[in-house]
Amino acid sequence: MSLGQRTLAKRVSVTGVGLHTGQPATVSLGPGAPDSGFVFVRADLPGQPEISARAEQVCDTAFATTLGAGEARVGTVEHVLAALAGMGLHNARIEVSGPEVPILDGSAAGFCALIRTAGTCEQPRPRRVLVVRHAVELREGDKLARLLPAERFAIRCSIEFPDPAIGFQVLAIEPTPELFERELAPARTFGFLREVQQLQAQGLGRGGSLENAVVLDAGRVLNPGGLRFPDELVRHKVLDALGDLAVLGLPLRGRLELHKSGHALHHRLLQALVSQPAAFSVEPARDAPDWQPHAAAGAA
């Protein structure tokens, strides 16, 4: 069984609008050098500055995850990062012609389709994984984010809202590329109508619509087509968490447990992990699947 890194076989692009800025932008996914990880490029700025998808580059977690380097910023990176990592890739260059990655339909399905169109190829560099050695836990009121040692990557996530359209939802999954593409990637971002209106009043959510988000109001799903899964909302929370986890820069071997968490708590959990050298080790990949197995769905 090969344990090499993987990247995209060719460059592919899609154009859409940013969820918060409402600005049109094109995002292009292309091959990345071995050991480079996921690197964003602000193609519209002078010098085309690069921003590595690393925990230390996270500069904002309000309503989405934003990465920054110097004056350059790129927002709402979590869905494309989840797609790249979830589909088994390790390196990619992500060129964006604007300040925010297009939201597409609010899920990661469009990015998975791009990856399938591009195909993937193996690189002559061995994979490494970040292995959780000791538990790391953060609690904020009734919110929880915890990493535990485990033989392979797994995630358990629960959410709870008083609105009867959501209530309590829980999902436990050991994601492979196939499971990610089928069970998680189609799940859309969501929000309440009152929150959408408040965001837009603050100059955010300008690109949001029923075409790219699940909108709820007083126990009702306002989207004409309803939900894609009965538990679509917790599936999207798992999708977000996988995208946020990608800024570790390596596949993870461990168990992630979340309750009522969000981008900010995910980022603080990763900061807590990397600040404790005894809590993790970096090791060569092995035959047992880690979060990013070498055999990505649709791999060349």
What is the pLDDT of the chain when averaged over all its residues? 93
Q: Which domain holds residue 66?
A: 4-127
pLDDT band at 200 (very low <50, low <70, confident <90, very high): confident
Greater confidence (43 vs 290) lies with 43
Specify the pLDDT at position 203.
75
Specify the pLDDT at position 288.
46
Query: Token match 């609690």: residue?
Result: 139
Specify the pLDDT at position 300.
26
75 & 98 share domain: yes
* Residue 128: pLDDT over 50: yes
Q: Which residues form the catalytic set?
A: 263
* Residue 292: pLDDT over 80: no
CATH number at residue 54: 3.30.230.20
For range 162-188, the mean pLDDT: 96
**How far, CA to CA in Å, does 87 sit from each of 33, 100, 183, 241, 268?**
17, 22, 12, 15, 25
Which helix (H) or strand (E) is 80 found in, with range? Answer: helix 78-86
165 & 270 share domain: yes
The number of folded domains in the chain is 2
Domain contains 190: yes
92 & 152 share domain: no
Residues 195-228 as b/e (b if ≥16 CB within 10 A, e otherwise) read ebeebeeeebbebbeeebbbbbeeeebbbeeebb
Q: Return the C-alpha torsion angle 202, 79, 145, 287, nearest 10.
A: -170
Query: Token match 């999902």: residue?
Result: 171
**What percentage of the chain exceeds 90 in pLDDT?**
86
Residue 170 carries which DSSP code?
E
114 & 168 share domain: no
Domain contains 298: no
Domain contains 292: no
Domain contains 49: yes
Q: Tell how far CA 176 is from the center of its chain.
A: 15
Q: Following DSSP, what letter does each residue of 218-283 receive, concatenated?
A: TTEE-STT--SSTTHHHHHHHHHHHHHHGGGSS-EESEEEEES--HHHHHHHHHHHHT-GGGEEEE
* Residue 208: pLDDT over 60: yes
**How far, CA to CA in Å, does 240 sit from each of 47, 86, 119, 232, 235?**
30, 11, 23, 12, 9
**How far, CA to CA in Å, does 251 sit from each of 26, 165, 193, 281?**
27, 34, 36, 12
pLDDT band at 202 (very low <50, low <70, confident <90, very high): confident
| Structural contact between residues 235 and 229, judged by C-beta atoms closer than 8 angstroms | yes
pLDDT band at 297 (very low <50, low <70, confident <90, very high): very low
**How far, CA to CA in Å, does 274 sit from each of 52, 148, 209, 258?**
17, 14, 37, 18
Specify the pLDDT at position 176.
93
169 & 258 share domain: yes
Specify the pLDDT at position 196.
79
For range 150-157, the mean pLDDT: 96
Domain contains 154: yes
Domain contains 88: yes
32 & 143 share domain: no
